[in-house]
Structure 1
Amino acid sequence: MLANFLIGLREGLEAALVVSILLAYLVKSGRHELIWRVWVGVAVAVVVSLGFGAALTFGPKGLTFSAQELIGGSLSIIAVGFVTWMIFWMARAARGMAGQLRSQVDRAAGAGLWSLAVVATLAVGREGLETALFLWATTEAATRQTAGTAMPLAGAALGIAVAVLLGYLMYRGAIKINLTKFFTWTGAFLIIVAAGVLAYGVHDLQEAGFLPGLNTLAFDVSRAIPPTSWYGTLLKGIFNFSPATTVLEATVWLAYFVPTMVVFLRRVHARTLPQPRPATPVPVPTGRTRP
């Protein structure tokens, strides 16, 4: 539940920031009559995201077990790719997001009736589709053990609700959030979550017979951490930890987690370093002497 809460919080806050920037810029520039177009775009993005999530949830139900595992494993790997791209993109583009959106608003305001709605749909819809795909992947892995989707979805819904509230308060100027630290800490946590989703996606492909090594275990700590225990369920729900992990799962987990986390932390460290000031030009003597 905690993992899905943070996913909903992070992705929801990104979408809320986009909407807040669009609305604030329209209000400050005196274009109140265009605000409804932004809300139309947001509504379309929400409907498309919910439809995408429903298709992921109910689409494979009528397929064979092997086909379901193959689709589930493939989509989990795709979800990890999207969320990894999102983590690094947000870390790089957060500072310039407001300027980019304002320039898009200026272009869309004079381009046509629905241009601004399209801008809002694309900006918010990207976050919504990424959220739906990654939440589906984490929830699918968690429900194999907990036999239910209520708790994971409740965590995601709570995270999105908190994000909407924070976005509104930021828009009203009631609170200020250090977005750099927020996206740094949540980004590092999501890398851990994504590594677990990737490993479980590989496990699905092994169960589908697409990848070998299903019976070759790297370790089995099921006696120390029973899958049905509260702490086993907690580890599974947050980190997708499997007490019985195959060699290929462990290898993929390490191959993703170590380089991704190292590169992420290096980029974070590089952003926190003080920028060198330009050198003060030294006057060049002309060779003339005053009488």
Structure 2
Amino acid sequence: MLANYLIGLREGLEAGLIVGILIAYLGKLGRRDLLGRLWVGVGIAVAVSAGVGALLTWGPYAMTFEAQEILGGALSILAVALVTWMIFWMATHGAGLSKELRSQVDAAVDRSWLAIVVLGALAVGREGIETALFVWANVSGGSDPVLGTAGALLGILTAVAISWGISRGLVRINLSVFFTWTGLFLILVAAGVLAYGIGDLQEAGVIPGGDLHAYSLVAAVPPGSWYGTLLTGIFNFTPEPSWAQVVVWVAYVAVTMSLYLVMLRRRQPAGRVASSGERVESRTPALGTALRA
């Protein structure tokens, strides 16, 4: 539940900040008459995301076991690819997000009325579809799908409340720190989803070696134990993984975590202290101030 809560919170907060920036800029332009079209686009994005989640949940039941495993494995790998792209995209584009969105609004205002609808749908739809796909992939490997789904919904609702508070100046949060640490956490969650997807493909016979277990932790982490359930729900922990799952997990974490940490280090000169003792602000994503800009 915790992993899905943080997924919903992070993705929901991204979407909420984007919508807040768009609303604030339309107000600055004196075009609040276009807000209705923007909300239509946001509504379309939410509906499409919910539809994707429903299709992923109930669609595979008519398929054979092998087909379900192949679909589940392929979608798990796709979900990992999307969330990895999202983590690195936010790390590199966060600082210029407000400027980028404003240029898109300027271009949309000069076009047809449909352009604002499309802008709202695309701005929120990407976050929504990523959330639906990654939460589904994570829940499908967990022990309690209902609890996992509830965690994601609770995270989204929390994000809505925080976004509203930021837009009203009632909430102050260091978004740079938030996205940095959740990015690190999601890399570990994504590694578990990737290993689970490899396991699905092995069960379907697409990848060999499903019966070759690298090790067994059943004695240390018994099935049904509270800590085993917790590890499974958060990280898709498998007590008897195959060699392919272990190799993929280690390789993904090693490569992705290293690249992410290098990117964070390059983004630093974080908070140097001037000779007079005055703190110099770091060059980090200023998404919080964008809503009030």
TM-score, normalised via structure 2 length = 0.91
Equivalent position of 2:291 in the other structure: none
Aligned twin of 2:93: 93
The match for 2:163 is 167
- 1:220 and 2:241 matched: no
Residue 273 of structure 1 deviates from its aligned partner by 2.4
Q: Residues 61-80 of structure 1 correspond to what in structure 2 (within 5 A)?
A: 61-80=61-80
Q: 1:187 aligns to what?
A: 183
Structure 1 partner of 2:286: none
SS of the residue corresponding to residue 245 of structure 1 reads coil
Alpha-carbon offset, residue 272 of structure 1: 1.1
Aligned pair in 2 of structure 1 residues 134, 32: CA closer, same or farther (>3 Å)? same
Q: How far, CA to CA, are the matches of 1:186 and 1:175 in structure 2?
A: 19
- Once superposed, which parts of structure 1, at least 4 consecutive aligned residues long, lie more than 2 Å away? 273-276
Aligned counterpart, 1:282: none
**Aligned 1:1-291 pairs, distance under 5 A:** 1-142=1-142, 146=143, 148-273=144-269
Instruction: Report the count of equivalent residues.
Output: 272
Root-mean-square deviation (CA, aligned residues, Å) is 1.3
For the residue of structure 2 that corresponds to 1:216, the secondary structure is: coil
1:274 and 1:57 map into 2 onto residues whose CA distance is: 43
**Alpha carbons of structure 1 residues 274 and 185: separation in structure 2 relative to 1, 3 Å:** closer
1:108-156 deviation digits (Å, cap 9, x = unpaired)? 11201121111010010000011111011000011xxx2x421001100
| Seq. identity, % | 55
Structure 2: tracts of 5 or more residues without a match: 273-293
Q: Which amino acid aligns with 1:71?
A: L
Q: Matched residues in 2 for 1:89 and 1:178: separation?
A: 18
Give the secondary-structure state (helix, strand or coil) at the position aligned to 1:173.
coil
| 2:151 partner letter | G
Amino acid at match of 2:132: A
Give distance in 2, aligned partners of 1:197 and 1:158: 21
Give the direction of change, closer, same or farther, for the CA distance of 1:118–1:60 in structure 2 (3 Å limit): same
Distance 1:161 1:205 in 2: 34
